[in-house]
Structure 1
């Protein structure tokens, strides 16, 4: 493929994803269709289907293309501060448009489409989990976390409240809430003297 053809294909892919996001914001994911995306993007529906076998996978790529906030953990030597930095960035990302509402709809689609669920887990959830676990392991090695604390459970305890508010209660994901979660979690993870 020539560079010019590759650039046109990349532009077309970007246009299709942007169109899918625009339509999902206007009408909701439930009413999103490949035909509507293709028509608005000015391409044939076969052009869309060549890139994405389903609207769910198109939507997944489109939503993940919006994730511009860095959610990688720093290592300042203070695990609570480092977790807080990432969790507040995540709360800011999830707590407002466009990413938050679109991500909620993506999670909803993942409940019904195993391909979307697998891709979301592989491309977004697992990398975030691995990064958090690596930071927790470093903290444990530095003596900031009890050596016998179950780090996989810690990861679930840290992320669970965010998803609970995002998906169940709809309460705001505030920085103060993140602080409350971290205080509660680290009471149990602190090394015993």
Structure 2
């Protein structure tokens, strides 16, 4: 009894094989283009030129600049950040502020985030993606910080994690993104102490 040899299945002729290095270059170019010109003026042509690829390479991966930005924001939220576990409420709050300050002071993020927040008023899809990437993930971290602090007896059981997040990150966002002021020495230490005092009040 003989069996026919198995012929390897070939990739259909004309099927596009998407190279990861090209995809990464396009994603990096999107951040740079957003920071340079903003979402409203951003174009597929500009992204392709900055990435050193043709427009076709971009359109093979995303249907439009909106889908491209939504993909980036969603990918950012999927990365996530672990909740701090320093063993004290002050330590956890200070660690959160340290991470947030680095993110908000990044030259690209400091331009991209405010622009996308403005654009989200006109584009509900962007608003949903930003909510998932920024708000939902940060609320999850704040919930863990509050839960651990309650378990240690540092906060009352009825502490609201949403209010905690407002008290911790809100002043920092105002300072770095809205006012765009520099952070003096010891600023994060004082802000952490103030946030902890407010949460305990």
TM-score of the pair, normalised by structure 2: 0.74
The gaps in structure 2 that reach 5 residues or longer are 1-9
Q: CA deviation at 1:10?
A: 2.5
Stretch of structure 1 that moved more, 133-142 or 94-103: 94-103
Name the counterpart of 2:180: 170
Q: How many correspondences in the alignment?
A: 187
> Are 2:89 and 1:79 equivalent residues in the alignment?
yes
Structure with higher RCO (Cα < 8 A, 6+ apart)? 2
The gaps in structure 1 that reach 5 residues or longer are none
Other structure's SS at 1:185 match = helix
TM-score of the pair, normalised by structure 1: 0.77
Name the counterpart of 2:55: 44
Instruction: Tell whether the 8 Å contact from 2:94 to 2:188 is kept in structure 1 after alignment.
Output: yes
Other structure's SS at 2:18 match = helix
- How far apart, in 2, do the equivalents of 1:56 and 1:76 lie? 39
- Closer, same or farther in 2 for the Cα pair 1:109/1:31, shift >3 Å? same
Deviations 1:152-193, CA, capped at 9 Å, x for gaps: 2112221211222234222235563333332222223338xx
Instruction: Tell whether the 8 Å contact from 1:91 to 1:162 is kept in structure 2 after alignment.
Output: yes
Greater fraction helix: 1
- Closer, same or farther in 2 for the Cα pair 1:25/1:186, shift >3 Å? closer
Other structure's SS at 1:103 match = helix
- How far apart, in 2, do the equivalents of 1:180 and 1:153 lie? 19
Instruction: Tell whether the 8 Å contact from 2:138 to 2:165 is kept in structure 1 after alignment.
Output: no
Stretch of structure 1 that moved more, 93-102 or 21-30: 21-30
- How far apart, in 2, do the equivalents of 1:53 and 1:116 lie? 15
1:13 to 23, 32, 52: 23
Other structure's SS at 2:90 match = helix
Give the number of the structure whose alpha-carbon radius of gyration is greater. Answer: 2
> Are 2:157 and 1:150 equivalent residues in the alignment?
no
- How far apart, in 2, do the equivalents of 1:100 and 1:60 lie? 18
- How far apart, in 2, do the equivalents of 1:175 and 1:104 lie? 25
Instruction: Tell whether the 8 Å contact from 1:57 to 1:116 is kept in structure 2 after alignment.
Output: no
Which segments of structure 1 move beyond 6 Å, counting only runs of 4 or more? 63-67
Name the counterpart of 2:7: none
Name the counterpart of 2:121: 111
